[in-house]
Amino acid sequence: MKTKLLLFAVLTLVAVKKTIAQSADEEAIKQTARMETETAMKGDTPAWQSFFVHDENTTITYSGNGYNNNFIGWKTINTVLIPYIQSNPSTEKYNFINTNFIVNQSGNLATVQYDQIFVKGLDTTSLQREYRAMVKDNNSWKIVSLLAVNTRSYTSGDSASVENALNGTGYALLAAKKYKDAIEVFKLNVKLFPGSWNVYDSLGEAYADDGNKDDAIKNYEMSVKINPKNDNGNQWLEKLKKK
């Protein structure tokens, strides 16, 4: 009897320790997810990079109505996405809430999905369903795959969603080499959102593709005026003014 009681006590202790460890890991996984978003919004790329595995298998995808941006491999992320984050820290104070977590963990591997709600003032600006695959490395959880789907963008009429949808339409027309049509869509975006640096940047690109150097420069200059950290705009201005 004593032996059975001792065995039961040992098994119970092991189960408790395992439960505590899993609970601690679950909180660490949730914290990693939150801090990845927070550091990106601040433009703090050194901190942001620390939450990822840096190899050719790391993937990041942002998807919504009018856009689908897919980055495969840390080299691509490092050369394309990181400069963008550095150039575009959030200029507005956003609060965000993570809810509806589903965490699955097996040893040093984990997946997590959750809703990420961005709030400005009393308004919800976007609702995204977030997915992360993570590995535990030296007692820290690192992201190997990130997918963010802006579910609200497909039905919302808020400013950010409309701007993104129009921009996506414009770039689809550019890809089809329908430059005049793309210009008209981007011009509408400028009319609707004159305070957005990105819409001027896109219109500048369309004019450049259409061979209209003067209007391309004009719009890139406006984009850089609104956002001096727009490195893409500055680079294009340098190229266009040399021609």
36's CB contacts (< 8 A; 6+ apart) are 48, 51, 52, 132, 143, 146
**C-alpha–C-alpha distance, residues 81 and 51, integer Å:** 15
Give span(s): CATH 1.25.40.10, the chain: 159-242
Q: Given CA atoms 159, 123, 41, 51 in this order, what sign does their dihedral have?
A: negative
The tens digit of pLDDT for each residue in 201-236 reads: 999 999 999 999 999 999 999 999 998 888 888 888
State whether residue 117 is helix, strand or coil: strand
N-to-C CA span, the chain: 91
- Architecture of the 2-152 domain: Roll (3.10)
Specify the higher pLDDT residue, 160 or 59: 59
Q: Rounded to two decimals, what is the model's pTM? A: 0.69
Residue 80 DSSP class:
I
State whether residue 24 is helix, strand or coil: helix
**C-alpha–C-alpha distance, residues 208 and 236, integer Å:** 9
CATH number of 159-242: 1.25.40.10
Segment 78-106 shows an average pLDDT of 79
pLDDT tops 80 at residue 154? yes
Give span(s): CATH 3.10.450.50, the chain: 2-152
**C-alpha–C-alpha distance, residues 210 and 178, integer Å:** 9
Segment 108-125 shows an average pLDDT of 80
pLDDT tops 70 at residue 22? no
| Sheet strands side by side (includes 123-137) | 67-72, 59-64, 140-150, 123-137, 109-120, 95-106
